[in-house]
Amino acid sequence: MRSDRDRLVETVTEEVVRALEARHGSSTDQAGGTGCPNCTGTRATDPAEKVREIVDTGADRIAHNGHGHDVPDDLASYIDHTLLRADVTADDVDQLCDEALRFSFKAVCVNPTWVRRCAQLLRGTDVEVASVVGFPLGATTRQTKALEARRALRDGATEIDMVVNVGALKSGHHDDVRADIEGVADACHETRGRLKVIIETAYLTDEEKVVASHLAKQARADFVKTSTGFGPGGATAYDVLLIRETVGEHMELKASGGIRTEEDIRTMLAAGATRIGASAGVQIMTGGDGDGGY
């Protein structure tokens, strides 16, 4: 028998999707968001132009794997400069921090093993240190995620990007997902850290994206984030709009993963880059051709 909550979720999802279709047509791919027969607009061939155009989609932050000189000075402070490959070396991390300082990026985002090094290199600067928890699968226990978050925060991280338990979400175990997020949120907020919840949109139906976004908000996360960049697909403008419609204007939103080509940018723009109101303090990333994926 369907619960009142199930009916509410279905109603909210239908309303959000209907609103998006009214804005952009019904041609968006539910899981990957790549179809766009109504695509119009100008291709963005210059990296700086791409960054500016993605800002207008309404995303709050976007990660950057490319070169610092590709990013306009006035947008650099919105970018998480990211390096999450398995083969990252100490020299790579040092270079990442150097670029973050030279171009005034908002943060560097690294695997937990590099947090202490980044915190030492960036001490006394305005560049924050972000790290990942339960990454990239989200399938560790909630106790492990909370412990991992506390260690990263103790080592000097100020922001945590955690991956939601996708399997639990798709199984309908919503209380477990909420508790998973709450455990990491508590760890972050004990030290005034900020939590981004990665819902990995490419694995989810529209209804599941709505549910995941609501759960993140209920669990007191600071951001909803689209993707790890290591899943089957990355951010789409459709998903950015769907999440924004779901959580409202005041919760922050980070787009990441898969933003690599001109066609990706054109599709995101055509999906509604000029039709959504950006929240105050919009943060955005540019995803180049780097291998970090995030």
Active-site amino acid positions: 161, 225, 254
Q: Provide the β-strand partners of residue 110.
A: 83, 131
Alpha-carbon span 64 to 142, nearest angstrom: 28
Question: How far is 291 from 84, CA to CA, in rounded Å?
Answer: 9
Q: Is 18 exposed, middle or buried (0-12, 13-18, 19+ CB in 10 A)?
A: exposed
Where does residue 200 fall: left (phi above 0), alpha (psi -120 to 50 degrees), or beta otherwise? left
Task: In whole angstroms, give the CA distance from residue 184 to residue 152.
Answer: 11
Residue with tokens 């390096």: 83
In this structure, the strands spanning 194-198 and 159-163 are parallel
List b or e across 253-287, with b for residues whose CB sees 16 or more CB atoms inside 10 angstroms: bbbbbbbbeeebbbbbbbbbbeebebbeebbbbbb
The pair of structure tokens assigned to 58 is 């309404």
> Omega into 136 within 30° of 0, i.e. cis?
yes
Classified as helix, coil or strand, 217 is helix
Q: Give residues with Cβ within 8 angstroms of 89, minimum separation 6.
A: none
* Contact predicate 225/199, CB 8 Å: yes
